[in-house]
Structure 1
Amino acid sequence: MSLLSKLRSKFVSTPTTLEKPVLTTIAYRIKSDVEAIEIAHKLAAEFAKEAAQRDRERRLPIAELDAFSQSGLWAITVPKQYGGAGVSYRTLGEVIKIISAVDPSLGQLPQNHLVIIEHLILDANEDQKRFFFDLVLRGARFGNAFSEKGSRTVAEFATLIKPDNADYVVNGTKFFATGALLAHWIPIVAVTEEGLPHLALAEQGTAGLTVVNDWSSFGQRTTASGTVVIDNVRVPAAHVVPIYRAFARPTIGGPSSQFIQAAVDAGIAVGSINATLDYVRSSARPWIDAQNIQRASDDPYTIQQVGDLELRLHAAEALLERAAYRLDAAALEPSEESVAAASIAVAEAKVLTTEVALLASNKLFELGGTRSTLEEFNLDRHWRNARTHTLHDPVRWKFHAIGNYYLNNTNPPRHPWL
């Protein structure tokens, strides 16, 4: 029996329809960084088996997602004082990269969940921390109702939150709601009449809360990143967190989110390169001018290109690891200096992970040849995923932040995209 089958039989009651996800079993509790990485590798081996089919069919990874969260990996950043493993950012990045290398949709699904955990650490009161961290440790998944389409910028929100006696009422419409369809709780970013962003955590199935599976992107097809309609949704005051505070002072609220995005892109690059190596070894042909060479893997220019890809990947991974250390340091002792250094380190990693994900997924076809584009292989999913996910935020502005920091000693702005 495969690991995924064991997890299904032990932990998961897989729904046959997309009804409200119900947490019926207690997730495994991971105890260390080493254990987190070991479990990620085991899950990745199972998730890889049907990744291409899931992409081709736009089949939501319901059982895989249950196995993922029930494994305990969605709770590894819960601080130790609340019962979690409190792993390092290096470990978190490695876990996301390992999963994303085989299925970047699955790798992206916990991104916003992990961001919510970070905001609970930064902004929630003690009662909220104890309540929500306990849910996470039990296996609850947070979705995402953050972004809106049609506004002037990604930071401008029309979704409003208003007090109503002991509760709050929220109204608006969200898009790019990664994972909301399959989440137990849907955190909604809404602004007060004064324009201050708050996080309203609504349980899936709350009256007035509707999740629409209308995600039609050509990449990251199985993230369920569609629409959330919020129609007079009532949220208890105890479930509302003033997240604007995370950006009113130096915190890792922004770079921690960007770090996870960079780890997904690094995973896409790893998956693309692995697919390139497999295809070149098994199916590609040497070029006609490569005389006396029988295999594409002996073609000198193919060898050179693979060497270049590996070099660029390792550089991106090194910057990702460096960024993780800066994040850990800034989380421990937040200051203007430490948080700015972490933001810039993450920005540098994001530039290289974006570049190598796009390059590697493109080189896959250049080195594989025309036959590698056949539908039967579905290798284009690597490029589609890279092109889609790297659009999350423009790296051209990362270059600006990096240059301004080193040239003019100007710290980067504080927001969730830097």
Structure 2
Amino acid sequence: MTTAIKPSLTQAVPPTALITSDAQALDVAEDLAVLFTRDAAARDRERRLPHAELALFSRSGLGAISVPKAFGGAGVSSVTLARVIARLAQADGSIGQIPQNHYYALELLRVNGTPAQQRRLFAEVLAGQRFGNALAELGTKNAHERTTRLTRDGDGYRVNGRKFYATGALFAQRIPTSVIDDDGIQQFAFIPRETPGIDVIDDWSGFGQRTTGSGSVVFDNVFVAAEDVVPFQSAFERPTTVGPFAQILHAAIDLGIARGAYEEALVFIRERSRPWIDAGVEQASDDPLTLTELGRLAAHLRGAEALLEQAGLALDEAQAAPDAASVAAASIAVAEARAITTEVSLASGSKLLELAGSRGTLAEYNLDRHWRNARTHTLHDPVRWKYHAVGNYYLNGELPPRRGTI
């Protein structure tokens, strides 16, 4: 059963709903995805930021589905959460990416927060608040280095620094931020969006994922209460699921983008494409080589979906009993899914244009958004290192590195 909310961007909706089961989460995601699909091409073409869509997402209760049951949430499985993200990304790749860091912050809170922090921040999410992110930085030696500082100020702290790739910060009520404290240890500060000294800048210019709001956040002597600072570095100094949890959501985004391109290819070929003259058929949908290419892509998509589900099951096992072996097994399963979803998302976006034909390049259809979204998002971290980790694990028994790659 779905919630009582039937989503509409033009009708008033009740206060934030409470989702209580995996099945309900999937039903609500389906309702929203149908709605979000309608204007996805126009939103991307015009770079219309999805404020209304995200408000509906929050009110639907989907933002709280990973809150543990002990704190009033649905505590859905990793399999379900990945399916939800994939379905939203199928509808709109940008909207599918925006909640990723929100759920990531909730996982870190689950793993490393104190009971008091968990009660307070989980309650905010259950009430409909969204968390963005301000984690990555430009100009550092590598993608994991951080320079944004957290310095003691009385009973609290001050934050100074500049972030980029801050997906979702434009739309969030809190901006979880990675910072380096006075001892050189990385912490995670859940900073309220309206705190004086925060400047969220809409300067994302990527050719894909255009409406994710993945621009800059500047912190100028921003105060953060001690109760809003959660340990970060320690989540990777012991076996936890924070790393593979982040990665499975990225894999789900790529899978959703791939599925969206594939489904659009089916419609476009049936309704608009022409067969190649040598095919000797009247309709593009009867072109034998088109059928071959679509069949190959469909098989690869099904394989990617199966790998994502297996990764979710492995992650659920590791969350229930985290140790070096279970977390490594989950990380490898997720790496396999991440590698294949990367490739199938790029292939799907490319095949859509190839099989649609020249007409498919017209701006009014905006079919290229699928490939642009896939190419942009899959650059998050290199797939070649996923294959390396998988091979090293199976051949040499080498456990994959634990890190907060998001």
> 2:192 is matched with which residue?
203
Query: Is structure 2 residue 278 aligned with structure 1 residue 275?
Result: no
> 1:407 is matched with which residue?
395
**Whole-angstrom CA distance in 2 between matches of 1:3 and 1:51:** 19
Query: Is structure 2 residue 20 aligned with structure 1 residue 9?
Result: no
Question: For 1:76-129, what per-residue CA distance to the aligned partner results, in whole angstroms no more than 9, with x for missing partners?
Answer: 000000000000011101100111001011000100000000000011101000
> 1:375 is matched with which residue?
363
Gaps in structure 2 of 5+ consecutive residues: none
Give, as a single letter, the amino acid of the residue that structure 2 aligns with 1:110.
P
Query: Is structure 2 residue 323 aligned with structure 1 residue 335?
Result: yes
> 1:19 is matched with which residue?
none
Query: Is structure 2 residue 135 aligned with structure 1 residue 146?
Result: yes
TM-score, normalising length from structure 2? 0.97
Matches within 5 A, 1:155-234: 155-234=144-223
Give, as a single letter, the amino acid of the residue that structure 1 aligns with 2:72.
G
**Whole-angstrom CA distance in 2 between matches of 1:416 and 1:199:** 12
Question: For 1:25-79, what per-residue CA distance to the aligned partner results, in whole angstroms no more than 9, with x for missing partners?
Answer: x411101000000000011111111111110110000100100111010100000
**Whole-angstrom CA distance in 2 between matches of 1:312 and 1:345:** 17
Aligned 8 A contact 2:9 2:52 in 1: no
Query: Is structure 2 residue 278 aligned with structure 1 residue 289?
Result: yes
SS state at 2:179 partner:
strand
Give, as a single letter, the amino acid of the residue that structure 2 aligns with 1:131.
R
Give, as a single letter, the amino acid of the residue that structure 2 aligns with 1:304.
T
SS state at 2:314 partner:
helix
Question: For 1:236-274, what per-residue CA distance to the aligned partner results, in whole angstroms no more than 9, with x for missing partners?
Answer: 100000111110100001000000000000000000000
> What is the number of residues matched between the two proteins?
402
> 1:33 is matched with which residue?
22
Q: Return structure 1 stretches of 4+ with deviation > 4 angstroms.
A: none
Aligned 8 A contact 2:9 2:56 in 1: no
Query: Is structure 2 residue 89 aligned with structure 1 residue 100?
Result: yes
**Whole-angstrom CA distance in 1 between matches of 2:180 and 2:199:** 19
**Whole-angstrom CA distance in 2 between matches of 1:190 and 1:74:** 25
With over 3 angstroms needed to count, the CA separation of the structure-2 counterparts of 1:6 and 1:362, relative to structure 1, is closer
Aligned 8 A contact 2:336 2:386 in 1: yes
Query: Is structure 2 residue 75 aligned with structure 1 residue 72?
Result: no
Matches within 5 A, 1:251-330: 251-291=240-280, 293-330=281-318
Give, as a single letter, the amino acid of the residue that structure 2 aligns with 1:9.
A
Aligned 8 A contact 1:8 1:63 in 2: no
**Whole-angstrom CA distance in 2 between matches of 1:301 and 1:217:** 34
Give, as a single letter, the amino acid of the residue that structure 2 aligns with 1:336.
A
> 2:117 is matched with which residue?
128
Aligned 8 A contact 1:258 1:416 in 2: no
> 1:17 is matched with which residue?
none
SS state at 1:289 partner:
helix
Percent sequence identity is 52
How many Å apart are 1:3 and its aligned residue?
3.8
How many Å apart are 1:8 and its aligned residue?
4.8
How many Å apart are 1:194 and its aligned residue?
3.0
**Whole-angstrom CA distance in 2 between matches of 1:191 and 1:310:** 46
**Whole-angstrom CA distance in 2 between matches of 1:167 and 1:417:** 28
With over 3 angstroms needed to count, the CA separation of the structure-2 counterparts of 1:338 and 1:192, relative to structure 1, is same
**Whole-angstrom CA distance in 2 between matches of 1:97 and 1:397:** 23
Aligned 8 A contact 1:168 1:236 in 2: yes
Q: CA RMSD in A?
A: 1.2
Aligned 8 A contact 2:260 2:370 in 1: yes
How many Å apart are 1:4 and its aligned residue?
3.4
SS state at 2:73 partner:
coil
> 2:46 is matched with which residue?
57
**Whole-angstrom CA distance in 1 between matches of 2:286 and 2:69:** 51
How many Å apart are 1:195 and its aligned residue?
2.4
How many Å apart are 1:5 and its aligned residue?
2.7
SS state at 2:7 partner:
helix
How many Å apart are 1:157 and its aligned residue?
0.5
**Whole-angstrom CA distance in 1 between matches of 2:58 and 2:94:** 14
**Whole-angstrom CA distance in 2 between matches of 1:151 and 1:303:** 47
SS state at 1:10 partner:
coil
Question: For 1:383-409, what per-residue CA distance to the aligned partner results, in whole angstroms no more than 9, with x for missing partners?
Answer: 110110111110010011011101110
How many Å apart are 1:7 and its aligned residue?
7.8
**Whole-angstrom CA distance in 2 between matches of 1:121 and 1:224:** 26
Counterpart among 83, 88, 103 of residue 72 in structure 2: 83
> 2:126 is matched with which residue?
137
> 1:247 is matched with which residue?
236
Gaps in structure 1 of 5+ consecutive residues: 12-25
Aligned 8 A contact 1:4 1:64 in 2: no
